[in-house]
Structure 1
Amino acid sequence: MGGGKRKKDEGSDVEDGGRENKKSSKERMLPSMIKNKEKRSEVHAKLKHEKKKQKQKQAKARDAAIKRAIELGEEPPEKKVPRTIENTREADETVCRPDDEELFAGNDADEFSKVLKQEMTPKILITTNRFNSSRGPAFIQELLSVIPNAHYHKRGTYELKKIVEYAKKKDFTSIIVVHSNRREPDAMLIINLPDGPTAHFKLSKLVLRKDIKNHGNPTGHKPELVLNNFTTRLGHRVGRMIQSLFPQDPNFRGRRVATFHNQRDFIFFRHHRYIFETKEKKDDSKDKTAKGAKTKTSPQEKVIARLQECGPRFTLKLRSLQHGTFDSKGGEYEWVHKPEMDTSRRRFFL
């Protein structure tokens, strides 16, 4: 009798062990290993939900630790910085440092110094290539509203070198040429006058003002200019070229901001205006009376600041930087982007 019971117990242990092994194998099974589509989606959703709950739990624990440290007067735990392509970029010798005296000494003598020192007022000529597109004129019209003291001239059949000579005589400080292909603006040429340099950008992701939801209409005030993340010597030079297109005395009352944000060598342009709204904020205060405690709500005003996009929205990618004004045949180049330069995703030039 005892022997039979013992065998039975041993058999149940084996069964339990088999169940545990099956359970652990199911837990280890990846969604990609499941052939049934519905089951695979179900397992994937379950794993995603569990991962989200775990992240929320970790965030709550981190917030509680910070709160506890502040209450005790201790230093809060260090924030973990996520690894990104930007903060793991390859080391570059040309990255500008705050104590680089040679760089700042060169700023006083470069081609953009007269405009940036406000010795000259920026005056921009905007034109197109010979074969303009349907969206080209609309884009140029919006550029004229972004850049103060900018003037549009039709290209006609004139060569670009003749336009450069004409612009020099009329005291223009820069020329912007919007190039179009297949009815879409796809490149931009910025020529600094009178002696260059000339920057050639690829233009993409163009969104006109009318296509931006809840867009605002810009005023004629001079905008505040924001340049982000132009860290290398080449980036510093390109940043100063862009800066020389705008007046250096912004009218802050206009609440208008033009932003050129460099990220992974893509220059994202955005055009916003600040909006300040006054909203009522309810404040609960207890008014004690003889009968008991009553709650009164007295409205208070608070000011909320937000951004409204004015458009246009586009992205620039530097293709070349040429010495002097535009010369497609005999021009010398300071920098040219070549496919063989893209050896790593973590290598950036601006």
Structure 2
Amino acid sequence: MGEKRKKREREELIEGDKETNNNYESSNKKKREILPSMIKNKEKRSSVHAKLKHQKKLEKRKKLKARDAAEKLALELGEEPPPKMVPRTIENTREPDETVCRPDDDELFAGNDADEFSSVLKRERMPKILITTCRFNSTRGPAFISELLTVIPNAYYFKRGTYDLKKIVEYANNKDFTSIIVVHTNRREPDAFLIIGLPDGPTAHFKLSKLVLRKEIKNHGNPTGHLPELVLNNFTTRLGHRLGRLIQSLFPQDPEFRGRRVVTFHNQRDFIFFRHHRYIFETKESKENVSKGNKAKEDSKNKNTKGEKIAKEKVIARLQECGPRFTLKLISLQHGTFDTKGGEYEWVHKSEMDTSRRRFFL
């Protein structure tokens, strides 16, 4: 019994020594790992950083090759390829919202036929837009409005002067305008955008930011007088759907595709990005990567009867931005026409709503 006990004690001591040695080695390894930021010499630091970056690149390339090989093997065996990894983004991890529109929502489509924009969107009325400014205007405001007049067809500019907005609404209703756009400026820079639907509203108030005029865009194009195509992206909720229909009512519903003009309102994280493009079709010679073994065969195929090489042509669509470029953020949506005192609001943005980065309203 005594010998067995001594053996156990000896084994326990050996195991304890091994554990201490392993801990000591791991601590030494941690000490040996030197980060590039810890190196004082600039040349050594940059060389170590470059080596680490190159190693990461090689590892990434190996992973991609292994994934492609696994997909190819699965297809050859007639099996399903491994599922592709989808990166986690703020958009695809947004908080669930009950007001998100669904394609089978009959109530939503029934309401579209009776809302304020149905007459314009059904082509019963042609959109006619009145554009004006705030009372104290700046030099950059009219420059922005002159570019808006080239973007929105059948739009007219009227000087604000000292008139109240309610009087302007009455005048616009008498002259059969369908909408009013008011550009507000502050410190010589447009900072707010108001869209008033006529005759019964609603009124959308936006914050305007990151304005870039046409002349400030490099290699910009000049738009033609054709009616543009309208693209509305990611207006998924009930509020977004209503706002999208308000924006849609500013433009005619029969675009002229010959003009190749596209006006885009892209909603992302409740920021509406405005872009104005022309698309151009170009024919380019296609260059195919051919291996050395098959090069002679391909050359013989691409030659005509006289022995001359035939160039393969490819049609490529290229976008040219016409401007302006700006971003809108919805502040409020009001029932009826503009009324700051007695008006009822459908939706107002408040600071208490911004509880999560993954919560969106449009």
What TM bracket, shorter-length normalisation? Answer: 0.7 to 0.9
Q: 1:317 aligns with which of 311, 321, 329?
A: 329
Tell me by how many angstroms 1:132 deviates: 1.2
Equivalent residue number for residue 164 of structure 1 = 169
Q: Secondary structure at the match of 1:231?
A: coil
Q: Secondary structure at the match of 1:286?
A: helix
Alpha carbons of 1:343 and 1:20: their partners in 2 closer, same or farther (altered >3 Å)?
closer
Equivalent residue number for residue 349 of structure 1 = 361
Tell me by how many angstroms 1:40 deviates: 5.8
Aligned 1:230-309 pairs, distance under 5 A: 230-281=235-286, 285-286=299-300, 296-309=308-321
Aligned 1:3-152 pairs, distance under 5 A: 22-27=28-33, 34=38, 36=40, 38=42, 43-152=48-157
Tell me by how many angstroms 1:300 deviates: 3.1
Q: How far apart, CA to CA, are the structure 1 residues paired with 2:180 and 2:281?
A: 36
Q: How far apart, CA to CA, are the structure 2 residues paired with 1:65 and 1:308?
A: 40
Q: How far apart, CA to CA, are the structure 2 residues paired with 1:335 and 1:31?
A: 52
Equivalent residue number for residue 234 of structure 2 = 229
Residue type of the alignment partner of 1:36: K
Tell me by how many angstroms 1:73 deviates: 3.8
Q: How far apart, CA to CA, are the structure 1 residues paired with 2:150 and 2:32?
A: 62
Residue type of the alignment partner of 1:339: S
Q: Give the TM-score normalised by the residue count of structure 2.
A: 0.84
Aligned length: 327
| TM-superposition CA deviations, 1:243-294 (whole Å, max 9, x none) | 111111111111111111100000001111110012234685228xxxxxx9
Q: How far apart, CA to CA, are the structure 1 residues paired with 2:328 and 2:319?
A: 23
Q: Secondary structure at the match of 1:248?
A: coil
Q: Does 1:202 align with 2:216?
A: no
Q: How far apart, CA to CA, are the structure 2 residues paired with 1:250 and 1:40?
A: 59
Residue type of the alignment partner of 1:326: F
Alpha carbons of 1:63 and 1:282: their partners in 2 closer, same or farther (altered >3 Å)?
closer
Q: Secondary structure at the match of 2:80?
A: coil
Residue type of the alignment partner of 1:213: K
Q: Does 1:213 align with 2:218?
A: yes
Tell me by how many angstroms 1:37 deviates: 7.4
Equivalent residue number for residue 290 of structure 1 = none
Between stretches 63-72 and 107-116, larger displacement belongs to 63-72
Equivalent residue number for residue 326 of structure 1 = 338
Mapped contact 1:282–1:298 kept (Cα < 8 A)? no
Q: Kindly, what percent of the aligned residue pairs are identical? A: 80
Q: How far apart, CA to CA, are the structure 2 residues paired with 1:188 and 1:98?
A: 31
Mapped contact 1:124–1:173 kept (Cα < 8 A)? yes
CA RMSD, aligned part only? 2.4
Q: Secondary structure at the match of 1:163?
A: helix
Q: Secondary structure at the match of 1:298?
A: coil
Tell me by how many angstroms 1:190 deviates: 0.2
Which structure's residues are more often strand, by fraction?
1
Q: How far apart, CA to CA, are the structure 1 residues paired with 2:76 and 2:224?
A: 48
Mapped contact 1:285–1:295 kept (Cα < 8 A)? no
Q: Give the TM-score normalised by the residue count of structure 1.
A: 0.87
Q: How far apart, CA to CA, are the structure 1 residues paired with 2:315 and 2:321?
A: 19
| TM-superposition CA deviations, 1:26-84 (whole Å, max 9, x none) | 33x5556x373746665555444333332222222222333333344433221111100
Q: How far apart, CA to CA, are the structure 1 residues paired with 2:114 and 2:275?
A: 30
Tell me by how many angstroms 1:332 deviates: 0.8
Between stretches 303-312 and 313-322, larger displacement belongs to 303-312
Equivalent residue number for residue 11 of structure 1 = none
Between stretches 73-82 and 188-197, larger displacement belongs to 73-82
Alpha carbons of 1:339 and 1:40: their partners in 2 closer, same or farther (altered >3 Å)?
farther
Q: Secondary structure at the match of 2:300?
A: strand
Mapped contact 1:282–1:297 kept (Cα < 8 A)? no
Equivalent residue number for residue 4 of structure 2 = none
